[in-house]
Structures are given as structure tokens and as C-alpha cells.
Amino acid sequence: MEMEKAKKRGRPAQLLQIAELHAFVEFLEQQEQLSDLQSQVLKALNSVDCNFEGLTQTDQVLVKEALKPYREHLKLKLLFEELNNLPLKTEYEQKFLDLYELFQKNALDQMELNILKTLATRYLNFPFPS
């Protein structure tokens, strides 16, 4: 069975992808410790100057997997920044902000981290009236 080529992306989509990958590389370079996967992805992205199309098919799969936690991190960070700027916060919003501040200090256990992610997902899918 022949492997299908990924469909071609338009120029704006490619530029956005390259920008995201550059930001991801910067994020990884700021980390104190990298997992083996993150190290491998960082090396692969640097070798092709963050051009996803230049990666081997195996490296593309690895990059996609490594991007998932980064995108989750970005989602939490952006929501925190947005909610932090609200003058009046609901109890739900305040709970998210409190948990995120603990998250930044690495003071959350796995259960609290899951609660933080759930709060973010629910808030983004079903915004509460302020």
C-alpha cells in the first residue's frame, strides 16, 4: 500500500506553522530539563530551521506529539492572562486563577492539574456570563 502525501498547505498556513514551531523551539530552549522526545524534536526542528515540511515523516509524528503539551500550556497561559485582566471575576474564574498561580510555582499535584485543565476546557467551551 502506497503512503499518501499530506495535502499541500497554503502559504499563510505554512507561515503560521513555522511561527508556531519557532515559538515552540524557544519554549523548549528555556526549559531546564528536556525529555528524550523533546531533545530529539528540538534537534530535528533546528536542523530544518523549523520547516515542518522538511522533516522526515517520523520526525513529523514526533513533533506533532511533542506539540500537544505545549499547546495545552499556551491555552492555560492565554486564558490566565485574559481572566487576570477582568475587573470582576466570578468564583469559577477566580478558582482558575488561583490554581494557575500554583501551577506556575509547580505546587499542583496531578489531581489539581487535571482540575485546572478541566476548568480551562469548560470555560473555553462554555463561557460564563460575567
The domain locations on the chain are: 9-69, 86-130
Residue 17's closest CA among 41, 52, 45?
52
pLDDT attached to residue 113: 93
Q: If phi over 0 gives left and psi between -120 and 50 gives alpha, with beta otherwise, what is residue 106?
A: left
Q: Note if the pTM is more than 0.75.
A: yes
Contacts for 79 with CB less than 8 Å, ≥ 6 apart = 96, 100, 120, 123, 124
CB 53 within 8 A of CB 31: no
Contacts for 24 with CB less than 8 Å, ≥ 6 apart = 45, 66, 67, 70
Amino acid at 84: N
Residue 100's closest CA among 124, 74, 125, 128?
74
pLDDT attached to residue 127: 59
pLDDT attached to residue 3: 45
| pLDDT tens-digit profile, the chain (130 residues) | 344 455 566 778 888 899 999 999 999 999 888 999 999 999 999 999 999 999 999 999 999 999 999 999 999 999 999 999 999 999 999 999 999 999 999 899 999 999 999 999 998 888 555 5
Question: In whole angstroms, what separates CA 29 from the centre of its chain?
Answer: 15
